[in-house]
Chains A and B, each alone.
Chain A
Amino acid sequence: MKKLNTKFWLGIIVALAFYGLVQVLLTIGIFNDVTRSMLLLVGVNVMLAVSLNLINGITGQFSIGHAGFMSVGAYTSAILTLDYDVPFVLAIIAGGIVAAVFGVLIGMPTLRLNGDYLAIATLGFGEIIRIVLLNTEYVGGASGLSGIPAKTTWTIIFFFTLFTVILINNFIRSTHGRACLAIRENEIAAEAMGINTTLYKVIAFTIGALFAGMAGGLSAHTFYVITPGSFNFLKSFEILVMVVLGGLGSTAGSIVGAVFVTLLYTYLREFPEWRMIIYSIVLILMMIFRPSGLLGKTKINFGKLGKKEAKGNGSIDSSTP
């Protein structure tokens, strides 16, 4: 336990040093606009990837509607700061909470479904949210909300991202996170060993939605404008690519995946059609050469990233108990 704490604080120190360095470079002014907004986008994407990994990678529930939760948080917080003058950080947190409520409401019925059916249901949820927003006059319909104050700074995004990673990682590395892992590993056995699998699926879904909602709020306050189109299926797919690329189930992998995808996104922004092609090629190459992702089967460990775990091979299992 002592050892774990030392590692944890070491990681925090490294992270803070990184924060300070970037802050100094920003103050000196050597970054151009593109790099500056990329820094903010990295934070947003890390939050999205790490939170989706909790649902898809850790709990094994294949969800592809993450952009839906993101949009709920984005619209909620934007309305709060635009129309109600709610303090920025409170508006972001409120956006996360409203997204989490959606997480509970969507999760309870859909998480009874398995595999493909769950994927279709979450995809449907993301699209329904988008179409509702598209047809709601109050939130600007297709043209969305504009004039959102650009209050997301490097400091704000850094600390939100840091807390997201720490809180989700703390969850994963506890009896509650193990319960989620057990569901992924063998749902029937998890249930037979006393895990309320439905409850823990909803919990994972809700925590994932909470942080996706906050990420949405932060992104809304980065780019002045949000439209329903910013949260379409392609955005959900992009988040999924980050998680799969990094390695399902690995928090460190999700971070690496998010950074990689953000770099691609930024430097290929003039060629959006190339982006999807490159995502696809990267995914195909990975499935051939590294099916468990860049950091698959690794646990995030501040101070010691990428501790290897042996891969199980003695599985004896069948579909009926």
Chain B
Amino acid sequence: MAASTAVLLDVKGASRSFGGLKALSEVSLHINKGELIGLIGPNGAGKTTLFNLLTGVYPPSTGKILLNNESVGGMKPFKINHKGAARTFQNIRLFTAMTVLENVKIAFHQHARHSLFSSMLRLPKHFKGEEEITQKAMDILKIFSLADQAQETAGNLSYGNQRRLEIARALAAGPKLLLLDEPAAGMNPNETRDLMNLIAWIREEFDLTILLIEHDMSLVMGVCNRIYVLDRGVLIADGTPVEIRNNPKVIEAYLGQEA
């Protein structure tokens, strides 16, 4: 796996403006299959905006996004998800009134083989299809230690568990590329450590490529192969954690934020 250098995601000069604000300018980056990449930068740097471009929430103003050599810039979000990129949201977006199990089942919908008609007429195919979805969804919940709460309403989960459920749901879509937007935000140090271990584990287990946003630099240092640094919409550095830690531009960007 480590030897594989095929590029999974290739972003070429992507820009995005909102009115007069240039949220991203000419961002180019690439992620190889199997890598765990960190994307860091101060608040408002444009990290979430990049995720929104990658997942089709809005199209890039200019530039190209290639997923598995296929241009996905401007494609609808559900199509990009089918192509193999799934994400979580910085502001948790669960289906709060649905159960934990149903939340995960939604991501399996695209793999369902029973048609609308077989469901409405309750043909054998419906029962087989639903059974399969339930099985697979429960398997994912077990990995995230959420199986006991499968029938709980998602909105009633603790904050940490809601974050974990969002990752479980993204994983259920069967992605090649998993995009995590500040998955540890609001968690205590213990929860954060557990989560980072879990992320490292699912990456091996599911043969995933992961792009992880985090604005706390120290958190990603330990787990990431490489790190990209955004500041005010511009990519200011990329390299190994050690290189990033000693990069004067990065230090300045982060100090500038505190000043």
Contact = CB atoms under 8 A, between A and B. Distances in A.
Contacts of B155: 311-315
Given A170-B122, A179-B109, A193-B169, A317 B98 contact: no
B182 to A, nearest CB: 12
B106 A191 contact: no
B114 A175 contact: yes
B15 interface: no
Interface in B45-66: 48, 51-52, 55, 57
A312 B97 contact: yes
Contacts of B89: 188-189, 192, 321
**Main secondary structure on B side of the interface with A:** helix
Given A189-B94, A310-B156, A179 B87 contact: no
A205 B87 CA distance: 29
Contacts of B156: 310, 312-314
A175 B105 contact: yes
A272 interface: no
Contacts of B87: 192
A318 to B, nearest CB: 4
B95 A181 contact: yes
A153 to B, nearest CB: 25
A176 B119 contact: yes
Interface in A156-215: 167, 170-171, 174-179, 181-182, 185-186, 188-197, 203
Interface stretch (B78-86, B198-206, B233-241): B78-86
A282 B114 CA distance: 42
A288 interface: no
Contacts of A190: 95, 106
B91 A174 contact: no
Contact of B116 (A194, A203, A312, A315): A203
12 contacts: A1-B127, A174-B120, A181-B98, A182-B98, A185-B94, A191-B81, A192-B55, A194-B110, A196-B76, A311-B155, A317-B92, A321-B93
Interface of A: 1, 167, 170-171, 174-179, 181-182, 185-186, 188-197, 203, 297, 309-318, 320-321
